């Protein structure tokens, strides 16, 4: 402050440390003391890197909803997904779905839904931080015999923070201790008011064991998807998010990514956070080898130079150099951000 006060004094402006200055004055100071401006720019480098042109509405076509299943431990999230897949097997539309990756695609009446069995899943934590872009709808599973529990509340908060729609599945209604009304009452305390109570949250009583209510739950998901009018341009370079990644002794870095825009092909140059490479192989959620993956499709890919972090954005680029440049900028900015904290303390 003393430097700035001195500078302003020399310009004939009588100021103290508490004086408010106008925008032009602030800008002038900021420009003179380059560091401040520079800092602003550096903070936004990754954002800048990820910035894209607004997409042309005419190029957009409808895409499947991406739904995460959340809730308290043991409330039946995985069972519910299993039941959903079995329903699908019975209808003969997409039998034998094996969950090779942390995501699965289910086909209902010719419409696809991408599910992420996310709860307790660290990938989802990272995805939440990236905001609403990763998931469209949350199914909040609450066991009717247990009610709202700490992780139920946590899940509600995460979904709200991400700005995604919540559909409640009140599960285990086949159990003797099930109390659907009590669950609705408890949820009302967290600003989730059931539609049949005059609110706008759909709450569907279900049983993963008897499969009661599952069709209705899926209908709600598709209805919600219709309301959201989910669209993406399939004819552009792919872009999406890393769901999970690991190092496989034989295959090297194996990453599960969700394609959100565009189409990813074998041979595409890609970058994900600090890693880059070329897509060598792709596998869908059933373990089938595929050559391309469009919007809302989860795929396992081989070919990145290292293991990216869950939640990081991946982008396909025209050339190997562009992909490499993306990763290098990412690395440089991450370092800069780390240093910045130190800089503040010194000055």
Instruction: Name 78's Cβ contacts closer than 8 Å, sequence gap at least 6.
Output: 117
Site size for Mg ion (CB under 5 A): 2
How near is the Cβ of 71 to Mg ion at its closest, in Å? 9
Cβ closer to ligand GTP: 217 or 272?
217
- Give the range of 19-27, 186-194, 202-210, 275-283 binding ligand GTP by CB under 6 A: 202-210
* Contacts (Cβ under 8 Å, ≥6 apart) of 179: 144, 145, 147
Q: Quick check: helix, strand or coil at residue 34?
A: helix
Q: Tell me if 119 is assigned to a ligand binding site.
A: yes
* C-beta closer to ligand GTP: residue 19 or 98: 98
Q: Which of 86, 154, 174, 215 binds ligand GTP (CB under 6 A)?
A: 174
179 binds Mg ion (CB under 5 A): no
Compute φ and ψ for 321, nearest 5 degrees: -65, -40
Which residues, in sequence order, are CB contacts of 315 under 8 Å at separation 6+? 50, 237, 238, 239, 270, 271, 272, 323, 326
Question: Between β-strands 297-304 and 292-293, what pairing exists: parallel, antiparallel or unpaired?
Answer: unpaired
Q: Which of 78, 99, 133, 305 binds Mg ion (CB under 5 A)?
A: 78
What is the rounded CA–CA span in Å between residue 238 and residue 260? 7
Contact partners, residue 39, CB within 8 Å, separation at least 6:
340
Q: Is 199 annotated as a binding residue?
A: no
Q: Judge whether 172 is annotated as a binding position.
A: yes
336 binds ligand GTP (CB under 6 A): no
- From CA 229, how far away is CA 63, in angstroms rounded? 9
* Contact mark string toward Mg ion, 48..77, x via CB under 5 A: -----------------------------x
Annotated binding site: 71-78, 117-121, 171-174
Residues within the interface to ligand GTP (CB under 6 A): 71, 73-79, 119-120, 171-172, 174-175, 207-209
Binding site for Mg ion (CB under 5 A): 77-78
């Amino acid at each position: 402050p003393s430097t700035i006060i001195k500078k302003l004094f020399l310009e004939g402006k009588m100021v103290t440390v508490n004086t408010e200055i106008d925008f032009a004055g602030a800008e002038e100071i900021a420009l003179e003391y380059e560091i401040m401006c520079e800092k602003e720019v550096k903070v936004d480098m990754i954002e800048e890197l990820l910035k894209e042109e607004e997409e042309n509405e005419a190029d957009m076509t409808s895409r499947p909803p991406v739904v995460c299943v959340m809730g308290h431990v043991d409330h039946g999230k995985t069972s519910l997904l299993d039941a959903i897949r079995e329903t699908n097997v019975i209808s003969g539309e997409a039998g034998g779905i094996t969950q090779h990756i942390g995501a699965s695609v289910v086909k209902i009446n010719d419409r696809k839904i991408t599910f992420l069995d996310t709860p307790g899943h660290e990938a989802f934590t990272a995805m939440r931080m990236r905001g609403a872009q990763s998931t469209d709808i949350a199914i909040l599973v609450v066991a009717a015999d247990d009610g709202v529990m700490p992780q139920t509340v946590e899940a509600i908060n995460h979904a709200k923070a991400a700005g995604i729609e919540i559909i409640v599945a009140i599960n285990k209604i086949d159990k003797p201790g099930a109390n659907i009304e009590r669950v609705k009452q408890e949820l009302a305390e967290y600003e989730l008011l059931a539609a049949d109570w005059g609110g706008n949250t759909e709450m569907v009583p279900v049983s993963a064991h008897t499969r009661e209510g599952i069709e209705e739950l899926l209908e709600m998901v598709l209805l919600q998807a219709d309301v959201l009018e989910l669209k993406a341009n399939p004819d552009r370079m792919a872009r999406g998010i890393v769901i999970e990644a690991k190092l496989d002794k034989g295959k090297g870095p194996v990453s599960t990514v969700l394609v959100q825009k565009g189409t990813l092909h074998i041979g595409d140059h890609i970058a994900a956070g600090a890693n880059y490479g070329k897509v060598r192989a792709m596998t869908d959620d059933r373990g089938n080898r595929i050559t391309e993956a469009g919007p809302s499709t989860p795929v396992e890919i081989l070919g990145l130079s290292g293991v990216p972090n869950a939640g990081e954005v991946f982008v396909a680029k025209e050339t190997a150099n562009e992909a490499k440049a993306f990763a290098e900028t990412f690395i440089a900015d991450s370092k800069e951000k780390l240093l910045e904290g130190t800089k503040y303390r010194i000055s």
